Amino acid sequence: MTSSPTPTKRRDAARTRQALLEAARARFASDGYAATTVRDIADDAGVNVALISRYFSSKEGLFEACLTTAADDFHRSTGATTLNEVPERIAEQAAGIDSDGVPRYLVLLLRSSGDARADEIRIGMLRTFAERLAALAGWEEGDDRLLLRAQVTIAAALGIALLRSTTTLEPLRSATKEDLLSPVTDLITAILGNRA
Amino acid sequence: MTSSPTPTKRRDAARTRQALLEAARARFASDGYAATTVRDIADDAGVNVALISRYFSSKEGLFEACLTTAADDFHRSTGATTLNEVPERIAEQAAGIDSDGVPRYLVLLLRSSGDARADEIRIGMLRTFAERLAALAGWEEGDDRLLLRAQVTIAAALGIALLRSTTTLEPLRSATKEDLLSPVTDLITAILGNRA
DNA sequence: CTCGGAAGTAAACAACTGTTGACGTACGGG
DNA sequence: CCCGTACGTCAACAGTTGTTTACTTCCGAG
């Protein structure tokens, strides 16, 4: 073999930082904050525990960093343009939870660490998410009725994602994006669709 | 005052057991399993920590007991008869989360301890809940399509309950039962209502 | 009254948690 | 080639966790 077993075993702060971040996001999303130990994360990332404190100051700091990157992913992957596209987006986000592990940021939104600052980030994401969704449905500031409906929609999506990722409830667990599309579409158009 | 400050300070195993159970349900629901310590529970109940091990063998045992009593509450309070009543039931369950703390069993359904047996109980509750709901919509065994829709409905309800109880997201947080009734009704009738 | 057992308490335990400081070691500019 | 410095490891720390053991206190049957 010409390539070494691990392509990059060389020292690279940015790379190990990233490895820690990804391992942490996976653990925090699937097990929650309190049930995840820093040694679990370090082992998953294949590095030493002490590096968590070095790069992120603390476990809380690492969690905040996870939320921040999750917010970035979220802003990047939810550039939905029209209300019609929303159901498909949500369906594929909720469906993809356990495949490539892509949208773990969804479940992270429901994981609290008890830390005030982390919770602010979390709620901030939820708030902008809701306002963006409401805007697609014709929301203008002050209309609490429609904003509530957007938040209910998000709560529903998060509930689906969480239930799929933390239980073995069938057929929900194994439902594909196509399976979810129909009920999710009905759900969203009913809540946000053409209002009277 | 004729009555003593604490009406029953006398030794009563059944009563302290019950106090532990209620304190545990509140803590587990609001903080999750891992973030809750047995000393927290014991202090809330006003008894000694050792009694948890005595009455429930372990912290896991206490959690299982919480799930069991939650299942009872759930069976008692979800005796919905017709599909038309379902939205109002769900709305008031999801709305009442933080008032009298009545339906904490809802949030418990989303709290995992990592223990296999406890998870079986949890998923069993979800399964029967879904099947009962699906039955109201005309489900017959083998119809995975409708069962999935029932599970999506439950996931949505749990998501609303969890978001309300673990964040300060407004206006969702302060929404009353009446506020929730309209979107929840739309949601349920859209997913479970008269199907084509 | 009394005494056996149940109810409750206090203290200690081993294991585990997050965090830190001192210590190696590889990398790359000189 | 060399060596400072950033990267990584190791081992220990203080505190907390769930659990157990020995002990005290209360109640009520005999």
Cβ–Cβ below 8 Å for B163 and A175: no
Cβ–Cβ below 8 Å for A172 and B149: no
pLDDT tens per residue, range A144-178: 999 999 999 999 999 999 999 889 999 999 999 89
CA A30, CA A44: separation in Å to the nearest integer? 14
Above 50 in pLDDT, residue B193?
Answer: yes
Cis peptide before B183 (omega within 30 of 0): no
Nucleotide nearest to A35 (CA to C1'): C17
Enter the tokens of residue B131.
């099947």
Chain position carrying tokens 């679990």: A40
Closest by Cβ to B183, choosing from A149, A162, A179: A149
Residue B153, pLDDT score: 95
pLDDT tens per residue, range B86-101: 888 888 887 765 545 5
List residues, Cβ < 7 Å, touching strand D: A 11-13, 15-16, 47-51, 54; B 10-11, 36-39, 49-50, 52-54, 57-60
Chain position carrying tokens 């929404």: B175
Residue type, A104: R
Cβ–Cβ below 8 Å for A151 and B157: no
B154 and A123 in contact (C-beta within 8 Å)? no
Report CA-CA distances (Å) from B118 to A19, A171, B59, B61, B109.
32, 20, 11, 9, 10
- Kindly indicate the confidence band of residue A1, based on its pLDDT and cuts at 50, 70 and 90: very low
pLDDT tens per residue, range A49-103: 999 999 999 999 999 999 999 988 888 877 656 878 888 888 888 776 555 555 6
CA A24, CA A38: separation in Å to the nearest integer? 8
Complete DSSP assignment for B24-92: HHHHHHHH-STT--HHHHHHHHTS-THHHHHHHSSHHHHHHHHHHHHHHHHHHH----SGGGHHHHHHH
Is residue A176 situated within a structural domain? yes
CA A178, CA B58: separation in Å to the nearest integer? 43
Closest by Cβ to A167, choosing from B123, B186, B187: B123
Cβ–Cβ below 8 Å for A162 and B163: no
Is residue B161 situated within a structural domain? yes
pLDDT tens per residue, range B149-185: 999 999 999 999 999 988 999 999 999 989 999 999 9
Cis peptide before B171 (omega within 30 of 0): yes
**Selection from B106, B88, B114 nearest residue B163 by Cα:** B106
Q: Which domain holds residue B67?
A: 60-192
Enter the tokens of residue A59.
């476990």
Nearest Cα of chain B lies from the Cα of A76 at a distance, in angstroms, of 22
Residue with smallest Cα–C1' gap to D11 = A50
- Kindly indicate the confidence band of residue A17, based on its pLDDT and cuts at 50, 70 and 90: very high
Which of the 8 DSSP states describes residue A47? S
Residue A76, pLDDT score: 80
Which of the 8 DSSP states describes residue A138? T
Residue A58, pLDDT score: 98
Question: Looking at beta carbons, which residues of chain B come within 8 Å of A162?
Answer: 110, 155, 158-159, 162
Closest by Cβ to A159, choosing from B148, B155, B171: B155
CA B176, CA B171: separation in Å to the nearest integer? 10
What is chain A's mean pLDDT, rounded? 87
Residue A36, pLDDT score: 98
Above 70 in pLDDT, residue A6?
Answer: no
Chain position carrying tokens 């130990």: A37
pLDDT tens per residue, range B28-58: 999 999 999 999 999 999 999 999 999 999 9
Q: What is the CATH number of the domain that holds A144?
A: 1.10.357
A183 and B149 in contact (C-beta within 8 Å)? yes
Question: Looking at beta carbons, which residues of chain B come within 8 Å of A148?
Answer: 171-172, 175, 179-180, 183
A9 and A16 in contact (C-beta within 8 Å)? no
Residue A68, pLDDT score: 94
Nearest Cα of chain B lies from the Cα of A129 at a distance, in angstroms, of 11
Enter the tokens of residue B85.
């009543």
Cβ–Cβ below 8 Å for B160 and A157: no
Chain position carrying tokens 């495949």: A99
Q: How far is the CA of A63 from the C1' of D21 (A)?
A: 39
CB contact set of B146 (below 8 Å; sequence gap of 6+): B134, B137, B138, B139, B192, B195
Could you tell me the end-to-end alpha-carbon distance of chain A, in angstroms, rounded to an integer?
67
CA B83, CA B88: separation in Å to the nearest integer? 10
A133 and A153 in contact (C-beta within 8 Å)? yes
Enter the tokens of residue B42.
């014991």
Cβ–Cβ below 8 Å for B148 and A33: no
Residue B89, pLDDT score: 81
CA A111, CA B32: separation in Å to the nearest integer? 10
Residue A122, pLDDT score: 94
Is residue A42 situated within a structural domain? no
pLDDT tens per residue, range B51-83: 999 999 999 999 999 999 998 888 877 765 687
Overall domain count for chain B: 1
Percent of chain A with pLDDT over 90: 65
